[in-house]
Amino acid sequence: MKKTIEYTIVLTVLIFVCYVVVIRRHSSRRPYVHKPNPIRPVDFPEILVAPESAVSLDHSSPSNSRRAASTYSLSFTIHDPYPSENTRNFINEHLISKGWFCLKYHLLNPDTPLSVGPFGSDWPRPKGKEGEWPISWMEDWLSKNNESISIFYRYVPLKHEPELSEPDLNRLSVHLSYIGQDSQAKRGPWISQYKKLHPEEFGGSIDANKPHSE
């Protein structure tokens, strides 16, 4: 009888341990689901800002997500009728005032000008609208310290199914992605390549470590 009790206890413990191991493995395999963070983290870069009227703000940083060190992003939605001049001017003036400058080509596709999508496709244009500004747009900015910010502007569709809905030309979605100089997502080689291809944007310098010449 005593041996039966001991056997039962040992078996119960083993079953419990196996259960814990299975649960932990299952949990570790669950896909990461990002939860929007409307509150600005203490470690968030000052260069990333949004207009006062922006809504649905999401501050993503290494401290509240699985982002690599020195990489941050800011996303928001704002009421700004096409062609979004107010929002673009706000961001442009802020970055320029801090010494940043907008590249004329895509940083990761240095042969592709801004007027064309980063992968060579034409940016979509609003139906029945004249003008050059598209309903989605991406651009890259650099600081004098070779930090980078990629900005993606997009007019959000009326529904969740983009292929079934026309974009709402009053509702602009903006995503800014910042990568610091010491980030694990190394941009140094890309910046060096870009400067070699487009030295005219840097005062003729092709040294990736030299600051931008104003």
pLDDT tens, residue order, the chain (214 aa): 555 544 444 344 444 444 444 445 544 455 556 678 889 988 899 999 999 999 999 999 887 666 677 889 999 999 999 999 999 999 999 999 999 999 999 999 999 999 899 988 889 888 887 777 899 999 999 999 999 999 999 998 876 666 667 889 999 999 999 998 877 667 888 899 999 999 999 986 444 444 444 3
For residue 209, tell me if it sits in a domain: no
Are both 15 and 64 inside the same structural domain?
A: no
Which residues span the domain enclosing 195?
Answer: 55-202
Yes or no: say if 186 and 180 are a contact pair by the CB < 8 Å rule: no
pTM: 0.78
For residue 42, tell me if it sits in a domain: no
For residue 210, tell me if it sits in a domain: no
Give the pLDDT confidence score for residue 160 in this predicted structure. Answer: 64
For residue 211, tell me if it sits in a domain: no
Are both 17 and 118 inside the same structural domain?
A: no
